Chains A and B, each alone.
Chain A
Amino acid sequence: MNIFAAVGRMTLAFFRETGRLSMFTASAVAGLLRPPVYWRLILQQILRVGYFSLPVVGLTAFFTGGVLALQIYIGGNRYGAEAFVPQIVVLGITRELGPVIAGLMVAGRVAAAIAAELGTMRVTEQIDALTTLSTNPIKYLVIPRVVAAVVSMPILVAIADSIGVFGGYIVGTQSLGFNGYVYIKNSVDFVTHQDVTSGLIKAAVFGFILALMGCYNGFNSKGGAQGVGRATTNAVVSASILILAANYLLTNLLFSR
């Protein structure tokens, strides 16, 4: 085993993969600008990506809001700052936890489903068959999924934000002794326009990332059932890591002023 050869191989593989992903992204974006546009497929995918993710995203947002309220109360208690629960919950949910938790949950649900579906289509030659039937597979398969995710994620996150704050409200009023009217008034007075929109911008970017990683891994899967399994795992892992990395960059960018 030559250690230099191994390092070299890994470096080359890294750059090859980065290059291929960039080319894939470029062809997806380029395809978006040229007709035909498959509206029916986009709507179908919005239903699958957006609507059917609602229960998962809603439940996680509810519990996240609740536990956030509880932790802030316990932590704030040490400094006598427990009265700030509503403000910190609404800030944490809209800026960070809403988009990130929704992004990760949808990555697990949708990126995996996309990779498995397209991966199976790849190994059974259905993607090649599209080409022979004068249909561009990028336009027919990739673009509807990416567009659907970019459109659905902000809507999902807007809903997740509301449900998350509601989770905090329930815990705050039911077990922490907050007055319901005061809790809501403090939340609404404190939250700014920018807190919410920054979260929604993040959501759209996360949607792009998770759909693209699902499509990319599915498109490049090979070697039968095992290959499809690997593509699915890679899609979820890479989408999750990229979402967290992009989250840091976006936070830096959006709040740097």
Chain B
Amino acid sequence: MAGTPKVELRGVKKRFGPKVVLDGVDLKIDHGQSLVVIGGSGTGKSVMIKCVLGILRPDAGEIFVDGEEVTRLRGAARDKVLKKFGMLFQGAALFDSLPVWENVAFGLIQGRGMDRRRAKDVAIEKLAKVGLGSDVAMLSPAELSGGMQKRVGLARAIAADPEIIFFDEPTTGLDPIMADVINDLIVSTVKDLGITTLSITHDLVSARKIADRIAMLYKGKIIWDGPTAEIDDSGNPYVDQFIHGRATGPIKMEVRA
């Protein structure tokens, strides 16, 4: 595809003490594309996302958003970049001190200074988009089931109409049916609107459903990258082992961290 990629990582490295987590990640996500990064637990998928968001600072390498280098931005410049992003966290990460509607409207009220009453209307509208009625709006997040929390998290991620959304393990911890509901919602509320997405998951069913392109992260590097349709004949032994879930193969599970 022509033009500047929406998000690009070049040689991003990150280590915690002696443990190298990202060892030179190169990745491009084109405008409107849905990229899914697969990889085993603890391969640094979450760390990669947090580097792009600026929650973690990479040790080396560059990150571009819309062609602009954002790797070392701080303060107001970082805030401006962050306004382009939405994120759905693994455990939904809802603020349990606030009711559901205020969670959804949080970015609008705090980040953009929207009037509370108007923000509430937007929140209820976004909740409807993820299939939740206005009765849920007044509940506290602790009163919701895991699947409902994920939906509220999704509503919060899309509330401020971001250009890019990150999904951290969107289906982990859900039953297969609820997982599929979430996948459908991701496709209908995000992908179909032309929002660029980066998801990280080890759920292949989910990956196949939401991805245009799949990349595999292993030992801190992207070892394979291609269209979703080609994942079954990637010719890469690591990818084959991962998608078929075999205990034996080139990937050795490091039982000790």
Contacts and interface: CB of A to CB of B under 8 A. Distances in A.
Interface of A: 121, 124-126, 128-129, 131-135, 140
A17 to B, nearest CB: 15
Contact of B107 (A126, A134, A140): A134
B87 interface: yes
B83 A134 contact: yes
Given A134-B111, A134-B112, A129 B53 contact: no
Nearest to A129: B93
Contacts of A128: 50, 53, 55, 89, 93
Contacts of B95: 121, 126, 129
Interface string B66-95: 000000000000010011011101110111
B82 A134 contact: yes
Nearest to B50: A128
A135 B93 CA distance: 15
B55 A131 contact: yes
Contacts of A132: 53, 55, 82, 85-87
A121 B85 CA distance: 21
Given A125-B91, A132-B55, A134-B110, 17 more contacts: A124-B93, A126-B96, A128-B50, A128-B55, A128-B93, A129-B87, A129-B89, A131-B53, A131-B54, A132-B53, A132-B82, A132-B87, A134-B79, A134-B82, A134-B112, A134-B160, A135-B110
B218 interface: no
- Chain B contact residues (Cβ within 8 angstroms of A): what range? 20 to 34
Contacts of A140: 110
Interface of B: 50, 53-55, 79, 82-83, 85-87, 89-91, 93-96, 106-107, 110-112, 156, 160
A137 to B, nearest CB: 10
A132 B168 CA distance: 13
A129 to B, nearest CB: 4
Nearest to B54: A131
Nearest to A121: B95
A121 to B, nearest CB: 8
A134 B86 CA distance: 10
Contacts, number: 50
Nearest to B97: A117
Contact of A135 (B55, B91, B111): B111
Nearest to A134: B111
Contacts of A134: 79, 82-83, 107, 110-112, 160
A192 B53 CA distance: 56
A12 to B, nearest CB: 12
Contacts of A131: 53-55, 82
Contacts of B112: 134
Contacts of A125: 89-91, 93
Given A128-B50, A128-B55, A133 B93 contact: no
Instruction: Pick the 10 closest A-B CB pairs, nearest first.
Output: A134-B111, A133-B107, A125-B93, A129-B93, A132-B87, A135-B110, A125-B89, A126-B93, A133-B106, A128-B55
5 contacts: A124-B93, A126-B94, A129-B89, A133-B160, A135-B106
Contact of B110 (A121, A124, A126, A133): A133
A125 B90 CA distance: 9
Contacts of A129: 87, 89, 93-95
Contacts of A126: 93-96
B121 to A, nearest CB: 18
Nearest to A34: B75
A118 to B, nearest CB: 11
A140 B55 CA distance: 16
Given A132-B86, A134-B83, A124 B53 contact: no
A121 B54 CA distance: 18
A128 B88 CA distance: 11
Max count, chain B CB within 10 A of own CB: residue among A121, A126, A133: A133
B157 to A, nearest CB: 8
Contacts of A133: 106-107, 110-111, 156, 160
